[in-house]
Structure 1
Amino acid sequence: MRVTVALPRELGNTELSRWRALQESDPAFDNPFLSPEFTVTVGELRDVVRVAVLYDGPEIVGFFPFERHPLGIGKPVAAGLTDAQGLVHAKDLEIDVRRLIKDCGLAVYEFDHLVSGQPLLNDRHERYPSPIIDLRDGYERYTATLKEHSGKTYKTTLAKSRKLQRDAGTLRHDFAITDVGPLRTLLGWKTDQYRRTGRTDRFAHRWIVELVERLLATRSESFAGVLDMIYVDDQPVAGHFGVRTRTTLAGWFPAYDTQFAKYSPGLIHHLAMAEQAAADGIQMIDMGRGDKEYKDKLKNGELEVAEGRVATASPAAGVHWMMRVPVRKTRATVMANPILLKTADKALKTYGRLRTVVQR
């Protein structure tokens, strides 16, 4: 096995075509965050992005996109934003994982959404469910499942949609639009949500805003940015921006105008998005790891992702363990305990309200 490391922009058409072929050869890799277009676009904005190209003789057998940070700390591309991470590789590939990490110039590689079936996985890594909307049997079959398992949610959402239209006007859904204006409206709602709930505002980082804008303009046969919005009487109510392969849409940035909160606009939008996505060839909407009420109400299946790290025997890896592993385990304990999670969420929202008052 031979490994070369390159900047994303240094990959030629041969390498990019091989990457797409490997990705499409295994359903486990059918996520746009594992697509070459995503890594190349992030690499245009962040100089820490690298791609390891794996060879078996003259044949390329894998691609490992990552970020290289100081002290040899490796992270997934756009770490903290992506819901699918890992190595895109040929079937039954056997590798020495620590040698790969070393060949990449890393002391440690840390991940939190590693997809299943990875050579990077071992028994020590924690596994978590990643809820999905499975549309392989069509939208009507999906809604039939909702009626069976989340009947109250489905009926209530339809009733609120009718009430919203009675109160505010005709509902319109625009799917896969390319206008940057609605995108900025959506990002404004999302920023408000981050601040209101005490979370860090991702869009305070200019590179993330530019990344989303560039992805919105990206269109290929196997990858695209997807923006969709619902309106009442031409007033934007809710929307979502994500990225897609031919058959998978990654849920990424959903948000809504809080003045319509009593109508559950997020649920109304997700049902409209699922219907149009199914009509457009999408077979799965990956909503991403995380315990959110709307995900629990809408899901009809789950994937599995892993969290952990792969490390070499080095001082940098030891320092990284002391700084990161106890924190990660504490967070996992809180997330797994409903009482602790509710308390933490309440504290964050209180902080968000106080921060908003101070800023005003």
Structure 2
Amino acid sequence: MTRWRALQEADPAFDNPFLSPEFTLTVGELRDHVRVAVVEDGADLVGFFPFERHSLGIGKPVAAGLTDAQGLVHCKDLEFDARRLIRDCGLSVFEFDHLVAGQPMLSERHTLHESPIIDLSDGWAAYTETLKVNSGKTYKSTMAKSRKLQRDVGPIVHDYATTDPAPLHTLLAWKTDQYRRTGRTDRFSQAWIVELVERLLATQTDSFAGVLDMVYVDGRPMAGHFGLRTRDTLVGWFPAYDTSFAKSSPGLIQHLAMAERAAEAGIKVIDMGRGQKEYKDKLKTGQYAVAEGRVARMSAGASVHWMVRVPVRKARGTVMNSPLLLKTADRALKAYGRLRTAIQQ
């Protein structure tokens, strides 16, 4: 872990908790598919490649579908053959959708996507000034709604980086409701994901920790977020809120409160993750780039993977890149969610 950590902290591109050894080790305790390839140059350890190996030699990132940063943590200017790497790992293909910058695997065909960030490197005050310029209406209305809540309902209390598991389960229940309401698959119906989040919350070190953030109104939980951090970077992962407060913009109130406390705690960047969300557009100050694609070598497994996955990925990309198609798909999913809820009731 010491060498992995040193390589990670030596390059800002790898400053993401999803690339930390603690994350891979914790997932590995719950998933038999997890492996780590160690890249050596003579007596030197020059890289660590966390991945999952599935049937037919299909390779995926650790906790695929959950992570917003993927790839090989390596020393600067490392050069090697990506196909040889996956061959030596026993893989036919390695598919990724959030590959971070500076990866040798980017020599393959890939698609770049934006991952919005909040830059707190100059502190909270500097961020709010930027926010007032770029999203002044959002900032003013959010502050006004916060004041109205306190007048009409009660005081707002913010609990940053709590390790109490009770509010975590409140947050997960909100998230499950959100998944069902919007027609998405409920990730927390899988017991291993719930246990993963619980274990990550219990992991608290200077260089890696689970961060649970909750906002209460008159003693009642209103909104929250669970993410992970390194020394300098906090990643957005699972935000949710009590829908009875929906008109008060609880998510924006929580994110701004979290950003302020994170800045005070020394966080330099909040990475909100790839994906088009209105709140990300309103709060961001910039973006990173992450890549989607695959590395493959000639094999039956890679051919099967291409036939099954590539057309689906292209179709999804077409929808995500078209505001009209994305809006239509989102509306259809929400209609499905309402129908599913009505049937269950």
What's the TM-score once normalised by structure 1's chain length?
0.95
SS state at 2:107 partner: coil
2:281 alignment partner in structure 1: 296
CA distance in 2, matches of 1:339, 1:109: 31
Query: Using the alignment, how far apart are the partners of 1:308 and 1:124 within structure 2?
Result: 7
Cα offset, 1:195, TM superposition? 0.3
* Superposition map of 1:238-317 within 5 A: 238-317=223-302
Report how many aligned residue pairs link the two structures.
345
Stretches of 4+ moved more than 3 A in 1?
Answer: none
Q: Is the 8 A contact 2:108 2:294 kept in 1?
A: no
Question: How much identity, in percent, do the aligned residues show?
Answer: 75
Instruction: Please state if 1:336 is matched with 2:321.
Output: yes
Q: Is the 8 A contact 2:93 2:297 kept in 1?
A: yes
Amino acid at match of 1:350: A
Give 2:153's aligned residue: 168
Runs of at least 5 residues in structure 1 that lack an aligned partner in the other structure: 1-15
Distance 1:167 1:349 in 2: 31
Secondary structure of the 2:105 match is coil
Structure 1 residue 17 displacement after superposition: 0.3
Task: Say if 2:109 and 2:294, in contact at 8 Å, map to a contact too.
Answer: no
In the alignment, what sits opposite 2:101?
116
Structure 2 Cα separation of the partners of residues 43 and 121 of structure 1: 26
Partner of 1:7: none
Cα RMSD for the two superposed structures: 0.6
Residue matched to 2:201: 216
Q: Which position in structure 2 is the counterpart of 1:346?
A: 331
The answer as to whether partners of 2:108 and 2:295 remain within 8 angstroms in 1 is no
What residue number does 1:3 align with? none
* More moved, 119-128 vs 175-184: 119-128
Question: How far apart are residue 122 of structure 1 and its match?
Answer: 2.3
Aligned counterparts of 2:106 and 2:253: Cα–Cα separation in 1 = 38
The code of the aligned residue for 1:144 comes to: E
Following superposition, the deviation at residue 123 of structure 1 comes to 5.7
1:185 & 1:272 partners in 2: Cα distance? 19
SS in 1 for 2:166: helix
Letter in 1 for 2:5: R
Amino acid corresponding to residue 202 of structure 1 in structure 2: R
1:321 maps onto 2:321 in alignment: no
Partner of 2:214: 229
CA offset digits 1:153-194 (Å, max 9, x no partner):
000000010111111100000001011000000000000000
- Amino acid of the residue matched to residue 326 of structure 2? L
Superposition deviation, residue 25 in structure 1: 0.2
The secondary structure found in structure 1 opposite 2:79 is coil
Structure 1 202/32 Cα, relative in aligned 2: closer, same or farther at 3 Å?
same
Q: 1:39 aligns with which of 9, 20, 24?
A: 24
Partner secondary structure for residue 330 of structure 2: helix
- Equivalence for 1:140: 125
